[in-house]
Amino acid sequence: MQRLILLRHGKTESISSSGGDHDRVLTDRGHRDAALMGRLLAEAGLSPDLVLVSDAKRTQETWEDMSPAFPQAEVDIDRTLYLASAERLSHLVDANRDAAACLMIIGHNPGLHELAAIFAGRSHGPAFELLMQTFPTGAAAVFSSDADGGWTLEHMLTPKDNGGGVF
């Protein structure tokens, strides 16, 4: 794998109609931001070959809104991504190293943010500073693979910084 995209689901409702966290859906803003992030990534040439998506409703909706930008991507809905720890996410990255040139994982905080911070540990610059502060809904951390098998943070994209993130 040459590139990794860690993407947090879009903005969600506070409480689902069922009362369960797993069933929370995206707000209108979440839908708009997910579509925006898909377009931004595709326009930057950051198109995943394989997308691993948590089985939570909000992550699946995020992918549905992004998917028109990536018509060739293979998708795997993975129940183990729901609220996965950084350690679990890291194992999934390692397990899929040879599965795609560009892997995208659509998941949840805090695990996603923790993994992004770990992978960005040797990075510097504005993207690194932003990532260390926050990983808001709809955000994408884009990494390239190092020669030694580590990761370098290339981009930190947020809907708010690109015209989204408003009600």
pLDDT at residue 146, as a whole number: 86
151, part of any domain: yes
By the 8 A CB rule, do 66 and 119 touch? no
Domain extent, residue 49, equals 3-162
What CA–CA distance (Å, rounded) separates 106 from 104? 7
Number of folded domains that form the chain:
1
Q: State phi, psi for 135 to the nearest 5 degrees.
A: -145, 75
Minimal CA–CA distance to 140: which of 60, 36, 50, 69? 36
pLDDT at residue 147, as a whole number: 82
- Using the predicted structure, report yes or no on whether residue 167 has a pLDDT greater than 70: no
- pLDDT per residue over 82-93, tens digit each? 999 999 999 999
- Using the predicted structure, report yes or no on whether residue 165 has a pLDDT greater than 80: no
51, part of any domain: yes
- pLDDT per residue over 42-72, tens digit each? 999 999 999 999 999 999 999 999 999 999 9
What CA–CA distance (Å, rounded) separates 103 from 3? 6
Higher pLDDT, 148 or 20: 20
pLDDT at residue 145, as a whole number: 92
What CA–CA distance (Å, rounded) separates 124 from 101? 24
Minimal CA–CA distance to 136: which of 114, 118, 158? 158
- Using the predicted structure, report yes or no on whether residue 5 has a pLDDT greater than 90: yes
Instruction: Provide the 3-class DSSP secondary structure of residue 45.
Output: coil
Minimal CA–CA distance to 9: which of 29, 1, 20, 154? 29
- pLDDT per residue over 96-142, tens digit each? 999 999 999 999 999 999 999 999 987 777 778 888 888 999 999 99
22, part of any domain: yes
Residue 19: give its domain's CATH number: 3.40.50.1240
* H-assigned helices in the chain: 28-43, 57-66, 86-95, 111-119, 126-133
- Using the predicted structure, report yes or no on whether residue 166 has a pLDDT greater than 80: no
85, part of any domain: yes
pLDDT at residue 86, as a whole number: 97
167, part of any domain: no
Question: Hey, what are 162's tokens?
Answer: 């690109």
157, part of any domain: yes
- Using the predicted structure, report yes or no on whether residue 12 has a pLDDT greater than 80: yes
Minimal CA–CA distance to 46: which of 150, 165, 141, 122? 141
